């Protein structure tokens, strides 16, 4: 299921989900940065301590598929270390992350502003940097993302998370 982090405060819903056989929930946390969350207009996320939210969901026998997106105009190169620290500290079994891929009105705005690096559809896969962000260079976004994938999906990290899940 895909839910907001709000579910972590609803013990009744968590109990019903556990009883129904849920074993994980996809939650779009997006970022640990308040500034980034504001840029997404995910103001409800700001009120939550993500560490507590993950722990609460686990109390009911479920794991969080913790989703982050990188590349908003509020993101800085520090976003990658912050995300890694969150995944590591909370032993997130299912880390999920992408590079922002502009579509619709955002794509049109970036095109008008001259911020698109390519219009090749094959590059719009959420793993390639296709636009210029405001607080980091495109190469910083791309290499930061690749480095995060490498760190989070290293054998040592996978082993740590799996042993922690036991």
Measured between alpha carbons, how far is 110 from 118 in angstroms, rounded to an integer? 11
DSSP summary character for residue 116: B
Name every residue whose Cβ is closer than 8 Å to that of residue 15 and which is 6 or more positions away in sequence: 60
* CA-only gyration radius of the chain, Å: 17
Name every residue whose Cβ is closer than 8 Å to that of residue 16 and which is 6 or more positions away in sequence: none
The token pair that represents 9 in the structure block: 């405060």
Measured between alpha carbons, how far is 62 from 21 in angstroms, rounded to an integer? 9
pLDDT at residue 47, as a whole number: 83
Measured between alpha carbons, how far is 9 from 53 in angstroms, rounded to an integer? 8
pLDDT at residue 106, as a whole number: 95
pLDDT at residue 44, as a whole number: 86
Q: What is the mean pLDDT of each run of 10 residues along the chain (166 residues)?
A: 94 97 95 91 88 96 96 96 96 96 96 97 97 97 98 95 83
pLDDT at residue 141, as a whole number: 98
pLDDT at residue 91, as a whole number: 95
pLDDT at residue 6, as a whole number: 94
Measured between alpha carbons, how far is 119 from 12 in angstroms, rounded to an integer? 46
DSSP 3-state assignment of 38? helix
pLDDT at residue 42, as a whole number: 86
Measured between alpha carbons, how far is 139 from 80 in angstroms, rounded to an integer? 13
Whether 134 and 105 have beta carbons less than 8 Å apart is answered as: no
């Amino acid at each position: 299921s895909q839910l907001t982090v709000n579910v972590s405060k609803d013990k009744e819903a968590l109990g019903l989900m556990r009883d129904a056989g849920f074993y994980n929930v996809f939650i779009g946390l997006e970022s640990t940065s308040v500034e980034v969350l504001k840029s997404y207009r995910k103001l409800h996320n700001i009120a939550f301590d993500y560490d507590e939210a993950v722990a609460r969901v686990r109390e009911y026998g479920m794991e969080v598929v913790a989703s982050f997106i990188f590349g908003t105009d509020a993101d800085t190169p520090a976003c990658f270390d912050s995300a890694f620290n969150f995944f590591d500290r909370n032993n997130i079994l299912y880390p999920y992350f992408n590079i922002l891929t502009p579509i619709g009105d955002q794509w049109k705005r970036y095109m008008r502003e001259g911020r698109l690096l390519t219009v090749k559809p094959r590059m719009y896969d959420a793993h390639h940097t296709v636009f210029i962000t405001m607080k980091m260079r495109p190469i910083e976004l791309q290499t930061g993302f690749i480095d995060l994938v490498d760190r989070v999906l290293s054998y040592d990290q996978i082993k740590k998370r799996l042993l922690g899940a036991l």
